[in-house]
Amino acid sequence: MDILNDNQLLRYSRHLLLPGMDFDGQLKLIESKILVIGMGGLGNACAPYLASSGVGEITIVDDDLIELSNLQRQILYTEHDLNQPKAEIAGRRLASINPDCKVRTLVKRLNDTELALEIAHHNVVVDCSDNLETREQVNRLCFSHKTPLVSGAAVRFEGQVSTFNYHATSACYRCLSQQIGSQSLNCAESGILAPIVGIIGTIQATEAIKACTAIGQTLDNRLLMVDGKTMEVREFKLNKHPDCSVCG
């Protein structure tokens, strides 16, 4: 695609006014393919903005069913959707937000071979999963393909986001997780303030859009942390770990 039709000119008119985005950036977005892993709280906040912004193809991966406890923060779902696959319901909602966005849904947990094939098909991966095992798997395979990864996490009143571009001097998620340790808090045990996933998920969407359009500066080698209790936003430099089992 090298031009926008009349409907797209009106739909994305506020994007077209932005310095750096303009027509070229919007066209890049329309031609982009983004893989979203996990359609819990973070995915529910991130994916709608990717669709509404004009991403051409979104693939969402999640093998969970919708539960009543999800509705406190997973805003794409309603009580009518209980016990149905998250990916399928989210896919329908995203398609209704922007019919021009092609939405693929995978209601399964992907093994390494399956996930590697999906990563190879996409320009950017957004990790909205809620467990360390999946995050490590996604990072390892994104590193193999050198596919940019936007990683987010949220629990209690806090959240964090980083983007991994896998340059020669860049840190990867494993460099970060080695510093954090093996213990991982989760929302089911520790709780989560509903809007925190919205804050982190929309930052992830912003990072993914920047990665697709080459606009601005992503959070490469930086970790952004948000404390909802104090509304402090802190940034930490991430250093490549010399003995990292993935990128070292």
DSSP alpha helix (H) spans, the chain: 6-11, 13-16, 22-30, 41-53, 86-97, 112-121, 132-145, 173-180, 187-190, 194-213
- What number is the average pLDDT over the span 30-53? 98
The 10s digit of each residue's pLDDT in 136-187 is 999 999 999 999 999 999 999 999 999 999 999 999 999 999 877 655 667 7
pTM of the model: 0.96
**Residue 220: alpha-carbon gap to chain centroid:** 15
Q: How far apart are CA 130 and CA 109, in angstroms?
A: 13
The 10s digit of each residue's pLDDT in 177-206 is 987 765 566 777 789 999 999 999 999 999
Q: What's the CATH fold of domain 32-237?
A: Rossmann fold (3.40.50)
Q: What pLDDT is stored for residue 136 in this prediction?
A: 97
Phi, psi (rounded to 5 degrees) for 89: -65, -45
- What number is the average pLDDT over the span 59-83? 98
Task: Starting at the earlier edge strand, list the strands of the sheet with 33-37.
Answer: 102-106, 57-61, 33-37, 124-127, 149-155, 158-164, 222-227, 232-237
Residue with tokens 């979104």: 58
